[in-house]
Homo-oligomer: A and B are copies of this chain.
Amino acid sequence: MTHGYETGRLDLPFTGICTFARSPYQPDWSAIDADVAILGAPFDAGTQWRAGARFGPRAVREASTLFSFGHAGAYDHEDDATYLSDTRTVDLGDADIVHTDTGQSHANIARGVRAIRAAGALPVVIGGDHSVNIPCIDAFEGHTPFHILQIDAHLDFVDERHGVRVGHGNPMRRASEKPWVSGMTQVGIRNVSSTAREGYEDARARGSDILSVRQARALGPKGVATRLPTDKPIYITIDIDAFCPSIAPGTGTPSHGGFLYYDVLELLQQVAQRHEVIGIDLVEVAPDYDPTGSTSILAAQVLMNLLGFIFHARAERT
């Protein structure tokens, strides 16, 4: 393995067209040939307070260039490992969004995830609001049952309210209804939200394991990871508002008391080492509320580390 410093471009982070991690752009979804495929899902009409997550994919792509300059892989001195040196990533661009039409927008997202799955790549969807998780899970129809790890401030387990069933307060409830979802672990849940007491009761009745930030910290990353079922593949959905507003202010419905960086990083590393990860979405980055770029950088840093952990673990397994 060699980095390309002596030849080619220097490619400082402020230069060039922004794809995720400077990966090749593949607008032809029938020609995906990669280990990982990135799909933007810039839909934010499901939000209940501040919108703007429609610009999330662009912001996360741009932030990802900060971590992508000229290296063949990313060396981490704490782990003494070079991540992502052999992982082939492509960026599919964004699903087509149709304003005023939630159903069609969601359908277009699902179509992209199905194309990724069909190509045998790991789908990584960047939202958009948390409602985009709904078509992501839909696209796994027919998959062997899997467990969902949700990292989030909010339970998002509302069934229906004023007719709304596919807003950003509903995805976990929708997921729980799918035969191909065996259960879920919901971590970081705290404070008042749009889910009322009966939502928690419903979730627990359907087998959810709900942990607050303080509860997760008391268990530690390994303690949380070991609560996941060992025999199921894992789908990970990360709502950026799981994090403390101190590092993730750029989101629609921030909630104080959230996770700090290593809380989540170490949990993801534990899970990646122990489980097969079959899909990822990261949602609710709203760059208009992120004047310093902190939130987008966090999202890119978390995603790139998570991908590094997953493929490092896959390589170790083989």
Interface of A with B (CB < 8 Å)? Answer: 3, 5, 9-19, 25, 40, 42, 44-52, 54-55, 58, 61-62, 66-67, 69-71, 74-78, 82-83, 91, 93-102, 104, 131, 155, 161-164, 166-168, 189-192, 194-197, 200, 210, 212, 214-215, 244-247, 249-250, 253-257, 261-262, 265, 288-294, 297-298, 301, 304
In contact, B45 and A100 (Cβ under 8 angstroms): yes
7 contacts between A and B (CB under 8 A): A10-B96, A46-B99, A49-B66, A50-B52, A71-B196, A82-B197, A101-B164
Contact at B161–A5, with CB atoms within 8 Å? yes
A40: chain B residues at CB < 8 Å are 15-16
Partner of A25, one of B17, B48, B99, B291: B17
Q: How far is the CA of A82 from the CA of B294 in the complex (A)?
A: 34
Contact A75 B214 (CB under 8 A): no
Given the interface contacts A164-B101, A246-B246, A262-B214, does A69 sit within 8 Å of B96 by beta carbon?
no
Report the separation of the CA atoms of residues A28 and B253 in the bound assembly, to the nearest whole angstrom: 29
Besides A18-B58, A244-B247, 12 new A-B residue pairs in contact (Cβ under 8 A), listed by A number: A12-B97, A15-B97, A45-B45, A50-B52, A51-B54, A98-B164, A100-B131, A104-B163, A245-B247, A246-B247, A249-B292, A255-B297
In the complex, A131→B45 CA distance in Å? Answer: 14
Shortest Cβ distance from residue A133 to the other chain B in the assembled complex, whole angstroms: 14
State which of B15, B256, B290 has its C-beta within 8 Å of the C-beta of A94: B15
Q: How distant is A88 from chain B, measured CB to nearest CB, in Å? A: 17
CB distance from A203 to the nearest CB of B (A): 10
Chain B residue with Cβ nearest A54: B14
Which residues in B have their C-beta under 8 angstroms from that of A91? 17
Task: Work out how many copies of this chain go into the complex.
Answer: 6
Return A99 CB to nearest CB of chain B, in Å: 5
In whole angstroms, what is the CA distance A15 to B39 when docked? Answer: 11
Q: In the complex where A51-B52, A164-B99 touch, is A94 in contact with B16 (Cβ < 8 A)?
A: yes
Top 6 A-B residue pairs of the complex, sorted by shortest distance between their CB atoms? A249-B292, A246-B246, A74-B192, A51-B51, A45-B45, A9-B96
Known: A214-B78, A290-B292, A293-B289. A99 touches B256 (CB 8 A): no
* A250→B164 contact, CB < 8 A: no
